Amino acid sequence: MSDTLSRDVIDAFVTDTLVAFGIERGRITVESSFDELGVDSLDVVELSQALQKELGVPVRPKDFDENQTVGQVLEYVYRAAGLR
């Protein structure tokens, strides 16, 4: 896991990944749910793979679901990264 991993790094990585998935950056807030953003189960798998591969955070696709908000997902990732 990266030594420099912080909440800011995770926030930026998750946001940039969702933007790369085709979600408008301006629509991504902690209150917005994956479902509202149009992030489906296939995207969730890609996101969890990217978190593992690029940041080394041990998350699995089944840790997330489409009804969660971006904020809930981030909280989960912080915990998985040992940040709380």
Instruction: Please list the active-site residues.
Output: 40
Q: How far apart are CA 13 and CA 7, in angstroms?
A: 10
DSSP category for residue 51: I
Interaction between residue 41 and another protein (CB under 8 A): yes
Q: Which of 10, 23, 57, 81 binds another protein (CB under 8 A)?
A: 23
Give the range of 14-22, 25-33, 64-72, 74-82 binding another protein by CB under 8 A: 14-22
User: For residues 12 and 42, which CB has a smaller minimum distance to another protein in the complex?
Assistant: 42
CB 33 within 8 A of CB 67: yes
Total residues binding another protein (CB under 8 A): 13
- The answer to whether residues 5 and 55 touch, using CB atoms and an 8 Å cutoff, is yes
**16 contacts 10 by C-beta, under 8 angstroms:** no
Chain residues binding another protein by CB under 8 A are 20-23, 38, 41-42, 45-46, 49, 52-53, 61
